[in-house]
Structure 1
Amino acid sequence: MEQYIPKSALVAKIERRIEHNTEWKDACKTLAVLAANQAIEEDKKILSIINSLEVKEVNLEFITGWFDHIAQIADDRMTLTNQRMTDAHALDEIKCLAKNSSEFITKHYKAQKGE
């Protein structure tokens, strides 16, 4: 099962690390300053990469198309290639479409919420 990390939580964690290392660097006047500077620069590079990531929006027409297709199958028992389905096959197709739609929407919703 895929797990998503909220972008905002990841950014906040790295920003806290930058702040911590900046405070630590300012408190130290030894070689540790070099290590803190390096950590800060690495974290800034990571943030730059994260901030360049694009968040995709789901096309509402794509999702509603699934539900329209489910309704169409229930109504006329026809495949997209205009082949007549048995009632059992139509129910299996509706079940599969509904399950896939539900999983997609749940996965997308959790990704948008950052779960």
Structure 2
Amino acid sequence: MTEATERFFESLPTRAPAVLGGLAVGTLQIDLGTDHQTEHWLVRMRPGAVQSSRERGPADAIWYSSSALFDRLVSGEAQALAAVLRNESTFSGDVVLFLAFRRFFPDPPGTRDPREVAREAVGRRA
């Protein structure tokens, strides 16, 4: 596992109040595979709070990803939902947990808020 992934999981509790709304309540197990080894993370979510640990356990949902893909997600180079739809990673269980958790990943480099772009376009016309 890379240092970026470690830092990502360590940052979850402090970022949770800004990221998680009221729908995400439950436990997501994240399995990260490299070669023939799988590392496990258990992420417990509730509105505005997250606890993460490096363990397996009872979970409401399980998400499997390669470690390499997860590193790309953490850096904003890939998108979680697109990876699942392309079958680059798999997910089972409570989909609300997955949809909430993906909000922790950064936007792709160069992404801008569409409202900001619209304001600039209006400003140029004025």
| TM-score scaled by length of structure 2 | 0.19
Task: Please state which structure has a larger fraction of its residues in strand.
Answer: 2
Structure with greater Cα Rg = 1
Q: Tell me: higher relative CO, structure 1 or 2? Use CA pairs within 8 A at least 6 residues apart.
A: 1
Task: Please state which structure has a larger fraction of its residues in helix.
Answer: 1
| TM-score scaled by length of structure 1 | 0.20
